[in-house]
Amino acid sequence: MIKKFFESVGSYFLFLKMVFRKPQKWGIFWRHFINESDKLILSSILIVGVISVFIGGVLVIQTASNLENPIIDKMYVGYMVRESLVLEFCSTMVALILAGKMGSNIASEIGSMRITEQIDAMDMMGVNSACFLVLPKVAAATLLSPLLMLMSFALGLVGGWFVVDMTQIIPTASYITGIKFCYNGFYIFYSCFKMSLFCFMISSIAAFNGYYAKGGSLGVGRSSTRAIVTTSILILMFDLIVTQLMLY
């Protein structure tokens, strides 16, 4: 099992070496980059947006219900919601959601191409199939995912504001003051960095599993599941490592 693990890690890095070659035609690369941006990032806006709005609202209620001490200013509800969103939810939780959506999309698409010999056909034409198929996906996911994180953060705060405004669980002015209190710009950078890293892992690991899928449609299903499980665990592990390195 240990041998198999190291073999997989080795194969993954050799796969990355194939992926990160210079594209044979930059025009084709950019065209695919735009397509993949649409497929992986723009199409995720709805799910990320909806979840962010609701989570923002829920965080407000949960935080407010735990801050009943009259000594503590109600503006801390807004402050804590903001910190929870930026530090953990908008990067790690959104990445876990994307691991399911984006990861299964990439693994099943590339896996299907593998079992129908489309990848073999590309290789036999002299096209670097790994670079052609995977590099635009990895580039789009890594470079554009911070925008999703920023959108999620903004919508989370808006969701919180909706709940505050509708329920008056705390005064709206306190919430607004709280989300502006002790603002630390580095947290935004930290969260964007985590999101980029996680989306790089999601796209590359899913592509790796799809690229080496075998065993027909069952094999594609297996590769998709393996990709999601592996990336979910790695996201949580790297969340810990990056947090320790960047915040402590």
Partner 1 sequence: MFKSFDGVQVLNDINVTYEPGKCNMIIGASGSGKTVLLKNLIGLLEPDSGEISYGDRKLSTMSYNEKMKLRQNIGILFQGSALFDFATVLENVMFPMEFFTDWSKAQMRERAQYCLEKVNVTGSDDKYPNELSGGMQKRVGIARAIALNPSYLFCDEPNSGLDPYTSILIDRLISDLTKEFNMTTVVNTHDMNSILEIGDKIGFIYKGSLLWQGDKNTILHTDCRELRDFVCANTLARNIIEGR
When asked if residue 212 is in the footprint of partner 1 (CB under 8 A), the reply is no
Q: Does 167 bind partner 1 (CB under 8 A)?
A: no
Q: Does 112 bind partner 1 (CB under 8 A)?
A: yes
DSSP 230: H
CB distance 214 to 115 below 8 Å: yes
Number of shown-chain residues binding partner 1 (CB under 8 A): 16
Report the residue number, 32 or 82, with the smaller CB distance to partner 1. Answer: 32
Residue 135: CB partners within 8 Å, gap ≥ 6? 19, 20, 23, 29
Residue 6: exposure state from Cβ atoms within 10 A (0-12, 13-18, ≥19)? exposed
State in angstroms the smallest separation of the CB of 112 from partner 1: 8
* Nearer CB in complex with partner 1: 35/66: 35
Locus of tokens 């402050």: 79
Residue from the set 11, 24, 66, 184 that interacts with partner 1 by CB under 8 A: 24
Please answer whether residues 187 and 87 qualify as being in contact, where contact means their C-beta atoms are separated by less than 8 angstroms: yes
Examine residue 14 and tell whether it contacts partner 1 (CB under 8 A).
no
Task: Give the C-alpha separation, 173 to 58, whole Å.
Answer: 19
What x/- string results for residues 174 through 203 when contact with partner 1 is judged by CB under 8 A? ------------------------------
Residue with tokens 């070659």, as numbered in its chain: 21
- Rounded to whole angstroms, how far apart are CA atoms 226 and 184? 37
Q: Smallest gap, in angstroms, from Cβ of residue 32 to partner 1?
A: 9
Q: At 21, list the tokens.
A: 């070659």
Q: How far apart are CA 185 and CA 71, in angstroms?
A: 28
Q: Is 7 in the site for partner 1 (CB under 8 A)?
A: no
Nearest-approach distance from CB 145 to partner 1, in angstroms: 22
CB 144 to partner 1: min, Å: 20
Q: 136 or 160, CB closer to partner 1?
A: 136
Q: Is residue 8 near partner 1 by the rule CB under 8 A?
A: no
- 15 in the Ramachandran plot: left (φ > 0), alpha (ψ -120 to 50) or beta? alpha
**What's the closest the beta carbon of residue 131 comes to partner 1, in angstroms?**
11
CA distance 234 to 228: 10
Closest CA to 195 of 55, 94, 56, 103: 94
Yes or no: say if 191 and 153 are a contact pair by the CB < 8 Å rule: yes
Interface residue with partner 1 among 7, 38, 117, 165 (CB under 8 A) is 117
User: Of 65, 66, 116, 217, which one interacts with partner 1 (CB under 8 A)?
Assistant: 116
> What residues from 119 to 148 belong to the interface with partner 1 (CB under 8 A)?
120-121, 123-128
Based on the shown chain and the rule CB under 8 A, indicate whether residue 4 belongs to the binding site for partner 1: no
Which residue ranges make up the site for partner 1 (CB under 8 A)?
Answer: 24-25, 28, 112-113, 116-118, 120-121, 123-128
